[in-house]
Amino acid sequence: MKQFVKILSIALRSVSVVIVASLFLCLLSIYVSPAKIWFLAYFGLLFQLFSLVNVIMLIIWIIRRRRTFIILHLIAFIPNLFLSGYFFKPFGSIKNVETDRENIKLLSYNLQGFRIPYQKNTTQEKIAEFISMENPDIICLQEFYTNDKVTEELFASLLGEYQYHAVFYSVKRKNSSYGIVTFSRYPIKMTLEIPFENTANAAMYTDIDVDGKIIRVYNVHLQSIKLNINNLLSKKNNRINEIEEVSSRLKTAFIKRAGQVDIMAKHIDVSPYNVIICGDFNDTPASYTYNKLKGNRTDSFCEAGKGMSSTYRLSVVPFFRIDYILHDKIIKTRTYSIHHIDYSDHYPISSIVNISGVSAVE
């Protein structure tokens, strides 16, 4: 019995040291590019798990009255002070804000290609109906899939009032295309495609004239993991091989996103206009990707969101936020919403922002 207690004590101490170290590596991972040290990105991805285990270990050491380890796990809450607010917000947004020339509504949505490759009954009509009911002024769509029956013009006709749009098809085939689309009620003065090498993921910006105020809106779809959930869950497949495959895909995605976000940052830093960034980053707030794009900008969820922040519908954890609306600080968030509809593997997000502080272009 004494031997068992001794082994258990050693095991608990070892877990404590690993968890505390891991949480500080989570904090480090948001500053270090995965292109330089790729394995740090795994710590950021597992931040919520480490935080949960840290709480459990703290309770255990309180029960065991081990002061040194209690202090150690309390110190380990420091990374949570920096990161937890990006995942959960106890307070909500301002209600009943009307859209007008100073308050514009943004909506970002990864469409999962309207699920056209996956099922016979397409969902573009339902998605268009949802968007029309939300009535946003600017719409950023990712994974926009077209074929003979679906084009951006036809989809615009379903939406009704959006006479301006810009499209970047990163994949073009004979009878279908795939990419990102931005729709706007306001005139689009200029658009620029930002391609990424060796991937179907892409970004672009549109300069939108909101009654004389030019806002540069980035529509972003960063590197996907390309994870096949069905293969992972299948009992027919070798678990070891599947884990190795997932690990390899994660590593590749971490490194590719690092390069993509560095390209994006260079574009954004020289923008002559105030910037709004919408899209699917395919990474959590505890990541180099998010930290690089956010910079000193405002995260609409952090400013006006409420509750759990998950935007990926198939996530097994409740705080898996990979879709974002960020903007320069002169632009103010008024509302933020995650819309829990099941037309895609992502939830759409929307935000009303105030642009009264933005100067008109002379």
In words, the CATH class of domain 103-354 is: alpha beta
Q: Is residue 316's pLDDT more than 80?
A: no
| Mean pLDDT value across residues 60-77 | 89
Q: Of all residues in the chain, what percent carry a pLDDT higher than 90? A: 51
Structure tokens at 74: 């309390």
Question: What are the backbone angles phi and psi of residue 107, rounded to the nearest 5°?
Answer: -135, 130
Which range of 127-136, 276-285, 304-313 scores highest in mean pLDDT? It is: 276-285
Which pLDDT score is estimated for 121?
52
Mean pLDDT of the chain: 86
Which pLDDT score is estimated for 29?
94
Q: What is the pLDDT of residues 125-183, one digit of tens each?
A: 888 889 989 999 999 999 998 877 777 777 777 787 788 999 999 888 888 888 999 99
Which pLDDT score is estimated for 240?
65
Q: Is residue 262's pLDDT more than 90?
A: yes
Q: What is the pLDDT of residues 3-26, one digit of tens each?
A: 777 787 888 888 889 999 999 999
Q: Is residue 233's pLDDT more than 50?
A: no
Question: What are the backbone angles phi and psi of residue 79, rounded to the nearest 5°?
Answer: -60, -35
Q: How do strand 177-184 and strand 138-146 relate by DSSP bridges?
A: antiparallel
Q: Is residue 187's pLDDT more than 90?
A: yes
Q: 232 falls in which pLDDT band (50, 70, 90)?
A: very low
Residues of the chain with CATH 3.60.10.10: 103-354
Q: What is the pLDDT of residues 24-44, one digit of tens each?
A: 999 999 999 999 999 999 999
